[in-house]
Amino acid sequence: MESQKVDMFLMANAKYFESHMIPYIHEQLLKMDDSKFMMLQTVNLKDPIMMLIVSLFGGHLGIDRFILGETGLGIAKLLTCGGLGIWTIVDFFLIMGHTKEVNMQKLQMVLY
C-alpha cells in the first residue's frame, strides 16, 4: 500500500492500538495489497476511552465485555454480580489495554 495512505490510516487510528504495535502495523500495512484498503477502513475498531466509560458505568453488568464481542465472559460477569465486584474493579484498569488487544486481533483478520 502507498506510504501516504498508511500514514493517513495510522494518524486517524493510532489511538486504537498499543503504541509499541504501531511500527509493526506500519510495516504490515506497507506490505498489504492496495485492494484491501476499503476493507481496512470498514473494520469496526472500539475506542479504548469509550470502553473505559462503559466499564465504569456498565461494567458491573458485563456490558463492556458484551460490546467487545466476548459474550461468554459478559454473561459470566452479569450473573456473578460483576465477579463479586472484584472483576468489575480489576476491569476498570485492564479494559483499555484489552480493547487495544481486541482491535489488533480485528486488524490482523484483515491483514491475513
Partner 1 sequence: MKKNKLYLFILLAATVGYSWISWNYYTYGRGAGGIDLCLFRKLTGLPCPSCGTTRSVLSISHLHFADALYYNPIGFIMALCLCVLPVWVLIDTISKKNSFHRFYLNAEIIVRRKWVAVLLVSLVAGNWIWNIYKYTS
Count of chain residues binding partner 1 (CB under 8 A) = 19
Which of 60, 96, 103, 107: binder of partner 1 (CB under 8 A)? 60
Which of 64, 82, 104, 107: binder of partner 1 (CB under 8 A)? 82
53 touching partner 1, by CB under 8 A: no
Instruction: Tell me the C-alpha to C-alpha distance, in Å, between residue 79 and each of 47, 73, 76, 84, 87.
Output: 26, 10, 5, 10, 12
CB 15 within 8 A of CB 97: no
Closer to partner 1 at the Cβ: 41 or 71? Answer: 71
What type of residue is 110?
Answer: V
Tell me how far apart the alpha carbons of residues 103 and 39 are, in angstroms, rounded to a whole number. 14
13 touching partner 1, by CB under 8 A: no
Per-residue binder mask for partner 1 (CB under 8 A), 89-108, x = binder:
x-------------------
76 touching partner 1, by CB under 8 A: yes
Could you tell me the smallest distance in angstroms from the CB atom of residue 111 to partner 1? Answer: 19
Q: What is the dihedral of CA 68, 85, 87, 62, to 10 degrees?
A: -10
